[in-house]
Amino acid sequence: MSESKDFLRTIVEADLKSGKYKEITTRFPPEPNGFPHIGHAKSICINFGIAADYNGHCNLRMDDTNPTKEDTKYVEALKDAVQWLGFHWGDNVRFTSDYFDQIHDYAIELIKMGKAYVDSTNEEEMRELRGTVKEAGKRSKFAERTIEENLDLFERMKNGDFKDGSHVLRAKIDMSAANMKMRDPLLYRIRHAHHFRAGDKWSIYPMYDFAHCLSDFIEGVSHSICTLEFENNRDIYNWVLDTLGLTTVRPFQHEFARLGINYTVMSKRKLLELVEGGQVSGWDDPRLPTIAGYKRRGYTPESILTFCDQIGIAKANSMVDVAQLEFCIRDDLNTKVPRVMCVLDPLKVTIVNYEGSEELESSYYPDDIAKDGTRALPFSKEIYIERDDFMENPPKGYFRLTPDQVVRLKHAYIIKCKEVIKDADGKIIEIKAEYIAESKSGSDTSGIKVKSAIHWVEAKTAKEVEVRVYDRLFLDEAPEGLEDVNPNSLTIIKNALIEPAVITEKPDERFQFERQGYFYADPIDYTDAKPVFNKIVGLKGSWGQKKKPTTEAPKAKKEHIDGEVVAMSENEQALFNKYSELGLNSEVANTLARDEQLSSFYEEALAELNSPVSLANIVTNEVARELKQMAVHELKFNASQIAELVKMIDDKTISNKIAKQVFEEMVKSGNAPTKIVKDKGLVQISDPSVISPIIDEVITKNPDNVEKFKAGNTKLLGFFVGQVLKATGGKANPQVVNKLVAEKLK
């Protein structure tokens, strides 16, 4: 629990102190019309958390008053989520539908009091009569019906004598109330629908505003906690209970702010669209913000509880950075899980001067973590390293293996590159290397300094595994709709290689793959024949470093496991810290900070355009490559032109891919990027009227795939999008294409 009390707990404590309640009872009241998401987790933590903190009780209540959308599979998902988060609801799950009889009796009581009437105006007229914020409404002429008439009509509504929509039961409150919700709100409507629990017993169903307060009362709830959008419904809540004279225990409603997270959508309706549209594999797709999704991805319940605690409870809606949630899981796993080695993109290395084999006893945990456990790491002359841990023509600041730079194999030896073997296309297929026998980890007497240590696996004993890497599901921070879905949110790596102990010893379900991130054995698809791991989260994020003043500033050193690292000067460290705070990852921040030429070029560009991450990417890759061959004053382009180029990427005038092409041209001609884009017609095409005919052509050319798509293979959407992008030479705006293709194939 947070050290400082939130406003809800302050209210609860005051109510206990004043004797208003002897016991605290809360409830978590989801509608079972979809899987719960991280927003529900917040509500679960609040309701169950408060009950636990004050020795009270929290009910799990299914708010099942809408028969057409609800289903038992959602009830199960909700139960599972609450349990997984570690909360208990007592003997049984409650259902609003269990109270339908009682709620109906209360309606009759209101009618008898002259406080409710059957209205038979049609929907449109009813809307007109309600008035506006500025103008009072007018009561319907049916409000004059006698109590007997109302009782008779209501009975016949219940018996199914009328069509849907022909009559409603309304509370008789105040048609000129400033709070529009109080202008004779609906209490019951006719619905000839089968209810998943109540069956066909009812032809009328109570509205939320009537059912909720009464269910709270029936259950003896003291604090009815809900989100801010119900603020205006509070008056009805009170009116119903007060009018019926329901006083002990009298529940009161309190509202808090909804949780929103960037780069995702959070309403069950939108999540359902994603699930039904096939953009994700199901409600438990690890890219979704559902509890089932987080669970399958490998998040721990603890990390979600910490997150809910950190974001606190407030009265103002706000958007939380998803990086904060990622920080919580990273922080939780950092000290818990074994660290192992897995190579995602293998490059073979043959150590020509090593004979035989050995087993290196290596710890699963670094020294600063108070956990024990070791495994034997097989080593021999054939190993695999990560393809990008070797570079033949490295940019300045590259610390890993090169023809001229040694590197340490984590837990093993220092190696140096002797020969680079390529295939006919010039692709590197193998490195011949030599190891330094005296450099064995733990007993290194070689005196050789290395700039970094890399992970690796031994060729014969390594196991092949599938690794699923997830990226944000949406490209946009605040996605408007499903057309913002990131087409590259899932990458499947089929042939990653992992050290054998992970598979044979199974020391855990979650791991840190050294230098790659945290991973989880997929609870559904993992088999001994085909192990599958989900990437939970990467090793680094910007959030924790920026917002947690108590944690030490990140040190570039951290990245270079176990080998000795040339220390940074004070200046370089200061730059590194600054760049980390701007959101650059440590690798990029490192490269910039350690290279004066690059950092001053970067600073100059940054002064022109506040886009730190995109600028850093171009400067450390493209610009750095050029600077290896010439001095700054010899370059044909300058920093402000790079800023101009990045601006065009940022505002989506050009795609990333096209930007590379423009850069090549800048290097050659020295022309301004805007001019190049204009002259060569490289502007990204976002105009639907231009893209549309191209899509039509692709559709006409692929009738088979259209048929398959329409038959339900929605994954083919990607195929069509790809074809259209190809046809425009990569110039079409992928988001627009996505949207149009989806519309046309409907």
Catalytic residue positions? 31, 258, 268
Tell me the two tokens of residue 447. Answer: 């005196």
Whichever of 82 and 406 has its CB closer to ligand ATP, that residue is 82
Angle at 201 between CA 199 and CA 205, to 5 degrees: 95
Least distance in angstroms from the C-beta of 331 to ligand ATP: 22
Helix (H, G, I), strand (E, B) or coil at 177: coil
Q: Does 9 bind ligand ATP (CB under 6 A)?
A: no
**CA distances to 137, 150, 661 from 140, in Å:** 9, 14, 68
| Interface pick for ligand ATP out of 68, 72, 102, 267 (rule CB under 6 A) | 267
Q: Does 713 bind ligand ATP (CB under 6 A)?
A: no
- What part of residues 110-129 is at the interface with ligand ATP (CB under 6 A)? none
Least distance in angstroms from the C-beta of 332 to ligand ATP: 21
- What part of residues 57-76 is at the interface with ligand ATP (CB under 6 A)? 63
Whichever of 28 and 390 has its CB closer to ligand ATP, that residue is 28
Whichever of 59 and 439 has its CB closer to ligand ATP, that residue is 59
**CB neighbours of residue 162 within 10 Å:** 18
Q: How far apart are CA 170 and CA 118, in angstroms?
A: 6
CB distance 278 to 490 below 8 Å:
no
Q: Does 43 bind ligand ATP (CB under 6 A)?
A: yes
Whichever of 301 and 338 has its CB closer to ligand ATP, that residue is 301
Q: Does 594 bind ligand ATP (CB under 6 A)?
A: no
Q: Does 39 bind ligand ATP (CB under 6 A)?
A: yes
Q: Does 606 bind ligand ATP (CB under 6 A)?
A: no
CA nearest to 43, candidates 10, 5, 82: 82
Helix (H, G, I), strand (E, B) or coil at 190: strand
CB distance 245 to 214 below 8 Å:
no
Least distance in angstroms from the C-beta of 38 to ligand ATP: 7
3-state secondary structure 679-734: HHCCCCECCHHHHHHHHHHHHHHCHHHHHHHHCCCHHHHHHHHHHHHHHCCCCECH
Q: Give the range of 195-203, 263-271, 283-291, 656-664 binding ligand ATP by CB under 6 A.
A: 263-271
CB distance 619 to 589 below 8 Å:
no
Q: Give the range of 23-31, 287-295, 558-566, 682-690 binding ligand ATP by CB under 6 A.
A: 23-31
Whichever of 39 and 397 has its CB closer to ligand ATP, that residue is 39
CB distance 119 to 168 below 8 Å:
yes
Q: Does 31 bind ligand ATP (CB under 6 A)?
A: yes
Q: Does 234 bind ligand ATP (CB under 6 A)?
A: no
Q: Does 42 bind ligand ATP (CB under 6 A)?
A: yes
Q: Does 562 bind ligand ATP (CB under 6 A)?
A: no
Q: How far apart are CA 571 and CA 120, in angstroms?
A: 78
Q: How far apart are CA 677 and CA 211, in angstroms?
A: 61
Q: Does 560 bind ligand ATP (CB under 6 A)?
A: no
Q: Does 223 bind ligand ATP (CB under 6 A)?
A: no
| Interface pick for ligand ATP out of 29, 289, 554, 734 (rule CB under 6 A) | 29
Least distance in angstroms from the C-beta of 36 to ligand ATP: 7
Tell me the two tokens of residue 322. Answer: 């998803």
Q: Does 254 bind ligand ATP (CB under 6 A)?
A: no
Long-range residue pairs from 738-741, CB within 8 A, at least 24 positions apart, any chain: 738/483, 738/485, 738/487, 739/483, 740/688, 740/691, 740/692, 740/695, 741/695, 741/717
Q: Does 79 bind ligand ATP (CB under 6 A)?
A: no
Least distance in angstroms from the C-beta of 42 to ligand ATP: 4
Residue closest to ligand ATP when measured from CB atoms: 39
Whichever of 67 and 554 has its CB closer to ligand ATP, that residue is 67
Binding residues with ligand ATP: total (CB under 6 A): 15
Which residue intervals of 160-262 are DSSP H helices?
208-219, 234-243
| Interface pick for ligand ATP out of 66, 121, 227, 334 (rule CB under 6 A) | 227
* Site map (CB under 6 A) of ligand ATP, residues 330-359, x = contact: ------------------------------
CB distance 351 to 434 below 8 Å:
yes
Please count the helices (runs of H) and the strands (runs of E) in the chain. Answer: 26, 27
Q: How far apart are CA 280 and CA 9, in angstroms?
A: 38
CA nearest to 434, candidates 410, 408, 415: 415
Which residue intervals of 298-339 are DSSP H helices?
301-311, 322-334
Q: Does 94 bind ligand ATP (CB under 6 A)?
A: no
Q: Give the range of 25-33, 457-465, 534-542, 660-668 binding ligand ATP by CB under 6 A.
A: 25-33
Q: Give the range of 266-274, 315-323, 562-570, 625-633 binding ligand ATP by CB under 6 A.
A: 266-274
What letter does residue 371 receive in the DSSP assignment? Answer: -
Q: Does 212 bind ligand ATP (CB under 6 A)?
A: no
Whichever of 318 and 669 has its CB closer to ligand ATP, that residue is 318
Q: Does 93 bind ligand ATP (CB under 6 A)?
A: no
**CA distances to 19, 137, 184, 400, 679 from 414, in Å:** 72, 83, 80, 11, 51
Angle at 255 between CA 249 and CA 261, to 5 degrees: 140
Whichever of 31 and 149 has its CB closer to ligand ATP, that residue is 31
Can you give the binding site for ligand ATP, defined by CB under 6 A? 29-31, 39-40, 42-43, 63, 226-227, 258-259, 266-268
